[in-house]
Structure 1
């Protein structure tokens, strides 16, 4: 069996690729740990019909309709071993494949046209959270600028039927933040979401003009590249 790559003029990072350990057989890299918090999301915050309109306006209603899907860790590990950071494609014996913006739009229902998700939070964390979520930013998270997803269950219990528009909007933002940190932009923490995303949810109509699908795909590419690294996990 040809271990490859046959031509390293394009695939120049083989020495740093996870598959090198597989080919050498000297050290089994093992199965990757797959991280997502969608289970926590569906358990902590029910999808109340009062917030659906805001989720749709912001471009996330399609994502909320996706049922829980089991993850095959072995299959994903095998795919990562075929992922090439140089070309952002999976290299198979039959050719190359990749995940496209159309895939993201069809599968996740996210908008792929619009403004880029970029920038940083300039506002004071406490004032920002008090205005848009209704609680001060947790003191122990200020260094990293991230919130523990599990805390949303305490801050946002079941939405009252007589809730005002401001409260409903805060619940919608909390739901979207959990969706971003738990599924779309999940990372190795498996429990944190960065407060910087909140700036894009101040106005739901404006939020729907951003290309959330592009940001999700870029994040996925980055995580695949990190996982394909010889020291990745």
Structure 2
């Protein structure tokens, strides 16, 4: 690669991560009573100490769900575990935040219906988050 500048584009996000860049924007509420949503999406309510405001303790998520044995689970349990795994991937890999060991629950609303989850423009928000974090990391906020 010759000397110069390069940038990451939406096409890179599609090719590298296979994420959708068309569809509905990834938006939604950031604060509500999360109990109903968590029980519907994950099938269990975490202990109160594992929810801080609108964030969930990722350690609890990993301990509660066995991601390695998704295929051996019954249908409903497999869906709960799949949502937990998707939430974990979103908050730790695709859209990480500076919340330590807690991840925001707001994405749970978007993956509650697994069939509709692919209709969102995940690639666009991943690229936007990448650029935001680059600005944050270089001090150009």
Measured against the shorter chain, the TM-score band is 0.7 to 0.9
Cα drift, residue 97 of structure 1: 2.1
Q: 1:98 to 1:160 in 2, by over 3 A?
A: closer
- TM-score, normalized by length of structure 1? 0.53
Structure 1, unpaired ranges of 5+: 1-92
How do residues 158-173 of structure 1 correspond to structure 2 at under 5 angstroms?
158-159=69-70, 161=72, 163-173=73-83
Q: Is the 8 A contact 1:180 1:186 kept in 2?
A: yes
- Root-mean-square deviation (CA, aligned residues, Å) is 2.3
Q: Is the 8 A contact 2:110 2:117 kept in 1?
A: yes
- TM-score, normalized by length of structure 2? 0.85
Cα drift, residue 125 of structure 1: 1.1
Secondary structure at 2:5's aligned position in 1?
A: strand
- From 108, 116, 120, the counterpart of 2:29: 120
Aligned counterpart, 1:183? 93
Q: Is the 8 A contact 2:30 2:54 kept in 1?
A: no
* Distance of 2:5 and 2:71 partners within structure 1: 51
* Greater C-alpha radius of gyration: 1
Structure number with higher helix proportion? 2
Q: 1:97 to 1:182 in 2, by over 3 A?
A: same
Q: Would you identify which runs of 4 or more consecutive aligned residues in structure 1 move more than 6 Å?
A: none
Does structure 1 residue 151 correspond to structure 2 residue 49?
Answer: no
The number of residues matched between the two structures is: 138
- From 1, 8, 19, the counterpart of 1:110: 19
Does structure 1 residue 218 correspond to structure 2 residue 128?
Answer: yes
Cα drift, residue 159 of structure 1: 4.1
Structure with more relative contact order (C-alpha pairs < 8 Å, separation 6 or more): 2
Cα drift, residue 191 of structure 1: 2.5
